[in-house]
Amino acid sequence: RFFTELEARHQSNIFIDDISDIVEKHTASTFDPYVKYCTNEVYQQRTLQKLLATNPSFKEVLSRIESHEDCRNLPMISFLILPMQRVTRLPLLMDTICQKTPKDSPKYEVCKRALKEVSKLVRLCNEGARKMERTEMMYTINSQLEFKIKVFSCFF
């Protein structure tokens, strides 16, 4: 829906003067999958590394896929990080639009709200990614710890 509206705006006029209304409308509702995806990005990268290290047939098939012209010889990891890269660019885009929008324009307030929403989105993505990274770190530490239990006899 988000991209459909952006495309419709572009089709109506090749010179797009503003997208703030579309960004504001969709950021709070449409971008939740980005937060979930970014939260799991660390896990995805670790899983990919584990598969590459332990599964020769996976590595071979992935190599063939990466060398396909549609992939432009880019490694799988570059595709895994694309959503996070795109989300983090939105505040920069909205900030630039806000700077170019006259402050006395009715579009300026919409632009500021859109900037606030995309900044919140990026913050949620970053917080989710950090939380997952800490969880993975704790899991790794937990699996490395060995607890020795001493049995004590109590006589009553």
What CATH number is associated with residue 67? 1.20.900.10
Helix, strand and coil percent figures for the chain, each rounded to 5: 80, 0, 20
Q: Residue 153: its pLDDT value, please? A: 64
Residue 16 covered by a domain: yes
Residue 28 placed within a domain: yes
Contacts of 22 (CB under 8 A, 6+ apart): 2, 5, 6, 9
Residue 145: pLDDT band with limits 50, 70, 90: confident
Q: How many domains does the chain have?
A: 1
Domain that holds residue 18: 2-144
pLDDT above 80 (res 149) = no
Q: Is the pLDDT of residue 156 over 60?
A: no
CA-to-CA separations, 94 to 9, 71, 111, in angstroms, rounded: 16, 29, 7
The model carries a pTM of 0.77
Would you give the DSSP letter of residue 102?
Answer: -
As a whole number of angstroms, the distance between CA 112 and CA 100 comes to 12
Asked whether residue 130 is assigned to any structural domain, the reply reads yes
At residue 17 the predicted structure's pLDDT band, cuts being 50, 70 and 90, is confident
Cα 94 from Cα 102, distance rounded (Å): 14
Q: 149 in a domain, yes or no? A: no
Among residues 126, 113, 136, the alpha carbon closest in space to that of 43 is found at: 136
Q: Is the dihedral of CA 131, 132, 138, 142 positive or negative?
A: positive
Q: At what angle do helices 41-54 and 32-39 cross, to 10 degrees?
A: 50
- The owner of tokens 């290290």 is 53
In a domain, 156, yes or no: no
pLDDT digits (tens, 9 = 90+) for 118-142: 999 999 999 999 999 899 888 888 8
What's the first-to-final CA gap in the chain, in angstroms?
A: 71
Predicted local distance difference test score (pLDDT) of residue 81? 92
Whether 155 is in a domain gets the answer: no
